Amino acid sequence: KRLYVVREFSDFIRISFEQARESLLRFVGDVVNDHEPVIRQALVEQIPLIGECYIEFGDEDGYQKVLKVLLPIVAQLTTDRNPQVRMSAVESLQEMAKLIKHQDLEVHLIPFIKSLVNDSTDEEHRVQAANLCHNLAPIIGEELTKNIFLPFIVKLANDLSFRVRKAIALNLGNICETIGEKDTTELLLPIYIQLTKDEMWAVRKGCAEVLISVSKNISPIERYSKLIPIFEEFVSEDPSRWVNNTAFQNLGPFIATFEGSQITPKLLQYYTDMINPSSIKFPDSDLVTHCAFNFPAVLYTVGASRWSELKDTYLSLVKDTNWKVRRTLSHSIHEIACILGPAETKASLLPCFNLFLQDLDEVRVGVIRNFGQFLKSLESTQRDSYIATIQVFVNDPNKWRFRKLISKQIGEMCSLFNLKTNLTQLAPILITLLNDPVAKVR
């Protein structure tokens, strides 16, 4: 019953603000110390909604209640003994920060975070400080992040507790995006490089996880000269399986942060080695799936001119025994075709496309969903031969979902054929679909 009541706090105050504006705050003050974690979690999730009501209906007095009563309660719960309560409190504090005037953040919120950073008695408080810096950076803006949070980050990055250093490594992403390329390159990159050499594998793994965020937000020169060697260190020298695999899992998106001309043959070789267990220090079957998923982004980055370096890898992935790998490729083959152009699509991709059409339904759905897009990348003489394939799907009484996917693309496909073909072949298909027994197809 208590849980139900707490979850109704925000609705109650919205309906009866004038009558409940004082009494509700007393209830909130009592519930914050409830012995049940689920009650405290429900309360902290309600407080931003309650705060919105006080600001909307309570004018300046309501805003002061948010600032001096509700905000400290949420801040208190970010250091709760229960991890679920702490997690919800961090999210709620982020929402509360959006309600507070910018000039009040430095007075009412920053001192609390500073107290966590300087709390030498409880490492969990310092971990939460790292989390809060990450979550609040986009809200407090570039200037406060650079002037206030960066000194916190420097201190926490040198903390004696590896859990705190790990938290800083994992939480660099929003900081990078908030302070921009110049300051990330000059101020944050040295901290990141320091953490990549940490003695604890968990800290280095955290660095591998945020490699993409850091790469997106530093200068192209530093990205090339500093981050490629760091990646190579992770995958070839690091003694930890977890660091190695995390770096490989992020390789595709990492490559996509570069200009194509910066991608060295060696870096591309690391990517193609993901499907070859004998070439990897700690083989992992999941890496093949990551390789397949990121293939369009990698090819787009390096360009069609380097297809020869990736072609064998693609053809191997198409024949992978794991249907989930083939499914990933079937959903993206039209993107590969768009990059390669008609000639190479005909030479290299048509056989793959035809294989997918004969595969499991879970794989076929990818090529059927993007049938029209793939046809766009074919020469006009090749397209006509696939109308019969469309007809096969339309005539299959057991695959209404395939018929629905085709029906959504008929209009688009008409622009790919001449008038005669549209009238004699596509129009009859459209009429058949208009009379389909399944309403969603019609």
Domain assignment present for residue 92? The answer is yes
Kindly report the number of other CB atoms within 10 A of residue 206's CB atom. Answer: 24
Domain assignment present for residue 235? The answer is no
Written as six digits, the tokens of 213 are 């965020």
Spell out the long-range contacts of 68-76 with Cβ–Cβ below 8 A and sequence spacing 24 or more: 68/108, 69/25, 69/28, 69/29, 70/25, 70/28, 70/96, 71/96, 71/100, 71/108, 71/109, 72/112, 73/28, 73/29, 73/32, 73/44, 73/47, 74/44, 74/47, 74/48, 75/109, 75/112, 76/32
Place of tokens 């930890």: 240
198 — alpha (psi -120 to 50), left (phi > 0) or beta? beta
What is residue 238's predicted lDDT score, i.e. its pLDDT? 93
Q: In this structure, what DSSP letter does residue 210 have?
A: T
Domain assignment present for residue 258? The answer is no
Domain assignment present for residue 171? The answer is no
What is residue 15's predicted lDDT score, i.e. its pLDDT? 76
Residue 63 belongs to domain with CATH number: 1.25.40
CA within 13 Å, CB half, 229:
6
What is residue 173's predicted lDDT score, i.e. its pLDDT? 87
Domain assignment present for residue 378? The answer is no
Kindly report the number of other CB atoms within 10 A of residue 376's CB atom. Answer: 17
Q: Count of domains in the chain?
A: 1
Which amino acid makes up residue 106?
Answer: E
Give which of 178, 144, 139 is closest to 48, Cα–Cα. 139
Q: Tell me the C-alpha distance between 395 and 411, whole Å.
A: 19
What is residue 156's predicted lDDT score, i.e. its pLDDT? 95
Written as six digits, the tokens of 133 are 């810096």
pLDDT per residue of the chain (442 residues) written in tens, 0 to 9:
678 778 777 777 777 777 767 777 777 788 888 888 898 998 888 888 888 888 888 778 888 888 888 888 888 888 888 989 988 998 898 898 888 888 888 888 898 899 999 988 889 899 999 999 999 999 888 999 999 999 999 999 999 999 999 999 999 988 999 999 999 999 999 999 999 999 999 999 999 999 999 999 999 999 999 999 999 999 999 999 999 999 999 999 999 999 999 999 999 999 999 998 888 888 888 899 999 999 999 999 999 999 999 999 999 999 999 999 999 999 999 999 999 999 999 999 999 999 999 999 999 999 999 999 999 999 888 898 899 999 998 988 888 999 999 999 998 889 898 899 889 988 998 999 999 899 998 8
Q: Tell me the C-alpha distance between 180 and 30, whole Å.
A: 43
Give the range of the structural domain holding residue 50, as residue numbers without chain letter.
Answer: 1-100
Q: What is the DSSP string of 248-278?
A: HHTHHHHHTTS-GGG--HHHHHHHHGGG-GG
What is residue 405's predicted lDDT score, i.e. its pLDDT? 93
